[in-house]
Chain A
Amino acid sequence: MGTGKLALAALAAAGAIGAVVLPASAAASVDELQKRLEAEARAGSAGFSGFSAQRGERFFKSAHGGDWSCATCHTENPVAPGKHAKTGKTIAPLAPGANPQRFTVAATVDKWFRRNCNDVLGRACTAQEKGDVLQYLASLR
């Protein structure tokens, strides 16, 4: 009995630790990601007035003065598979409507925005920019 309780307590403790550790790689949805980006955008700018798929599309297809745009690898039609600009490796479709695995892990989303914004713009993207792009991608069928 005593051992059983102890084991239960240990399990509960492990669960609690898991709950604390998990969020870094926790499952997410487009809606949850948008809520987080919206909170960030509001904190960064008082004039925040929502995300726009149209603005996101323009951002996605622009080279921003450099060699690459998002579309260089993800194509102008992100429901289709893309191709890495340097290695030629196939990239699975980016739009969640075509690839349900996209935008489901917050840490993965953060990692790729960090890398790709740096490659395309030479800086981090703002929450407004990320939210617009996500709005655009989520609108595609």
Chain B
Amino acid sequence: MKNTTTKRWMLDMAAWTLGVLAGIVLVTHEAAAGGKLSAPADDRWKAECGSCHLAYPPQLLPAQAWRRMMSQLDRHFGADASLDAADRAHIAAYLERNSASGRRVRASPESLRITEGAWFLHEHDEVAPATWKHPAVKSAANCAACHTRAEEGDFGERNIRIPR
């Protein structure tokens, strides 16, 4: 009788510990997936992709989307962003090597606009319409307007400051 109670207690404890551990793993995984988007630094990617806008982290689009984008840089969302062949090949390889996997791939936008993907829209569904129109924001592509450490690939909630 006593033995059974101890056994049940031990089983409960084990289940509880497992649950807590699983919770910790999940939370860390989420933080890694949503907050930090660090890829090994690449000077050419940072300089070329970052001259007209923030150098968007490669993890925000799947490989096939980057491939398509890098093959039409002379018509890049209404502007000519063409590169010489060597830089183009180098940056395309870097983007594809570090591209999105998992749910961001499934939610990849047909338009190639990161901000029109289901994943992006879901992550931003709490943002008020007025915020997007704020003069300091101007465009959903302007990550750094709210994500104060976006330049370092840090999109964590802790570093969000929404302009009022």
Name the CB-closest residue of B to A107: B84
List the one stretch of B32-40, B75-83, B113-121 in contact with chain A.
B75-83
Which of A29-37, A50-58, A114-122, A129-137 binds B? Answer: A114-122
- Residue pair A84, B80 in contact (C-beta under 8 Å): no
> Count of chain A residues with Cβ under 8 Å from any Cβ of B?
12
Contact stretch, chosen from B1-9, B59-67, B138-146: B138-146
- Once the chains are docked, how many angstroms separate the CA of A116 from the CA of B138? 23
Q: Mark A72-116, 1 if CB is under 8 A from B, else 0.
A: 000000000000101111000000000000000001000100111
Cβ distance B44 to chain A, nearest Cβ, rounded Å? 11
Cβ 8 A contact of A118, one of B52, B74, B141, B142: B74
Residue of B54, B79, B84 touching A86 (CB-CB under 8 A): B79
- Residues of chain A lying within 8 A (CB to CB) of residue B74: 118
Neighbour of A115 across the interface among B53, B78, B81, B138, CB < 8 A:
B81
Q: Quick one: which of B52, B80, B83 contacts A87, CB cutoff 8 A?
A: B52
Cα–Cα, bound, A84→B77 (Å)? 13
From A84, A107, A111, give the contact of B52 (CB < 8 A). Answer: A84
Measured between beta carbons, the chain B residues less than 8 angstroms from A116 are 80
Which residues of B lie under 8 Å from residue A84 when comparing CB positions? 52-53
In the complex, what residues of A have CB within 8 A of residue B141's CB? 87
Chain B's closest residue to A87 (CB) is B53
A48 to B120 Cα, complex, angstroms: 54
Please name all residues of chain B whose beta carbon is closer than 8 Å to the beta carbon of A118 when the two chains form the complex: 74, 80
Residues of A within 8 Å of B80, CB to CB, are 114-116, 118-119
Beta-carbon nearest neighbor of A84 in chain B: B52
Q: Are B77 and A86 in contact (CB under 8 A)?
A: yes
Known pairs A89-B53, A111-B83, A115-B82. 18 more at Cβ < 8 A?
A: A84-B53, A86-B52, A86-B77, A86-B79, A87-B52, A87-B139, A87-B142, A88-B142, A89-B54, A107-B84, A111-B82, A111-B84, A114-B82, A115-B79, A115-B80, A115-B81, A118-B74, A119-B79
Which residues of A approach B to under 8 Å, CB–CB? Answer: 84, 86-89, 107, 111, 114-116, 118-119
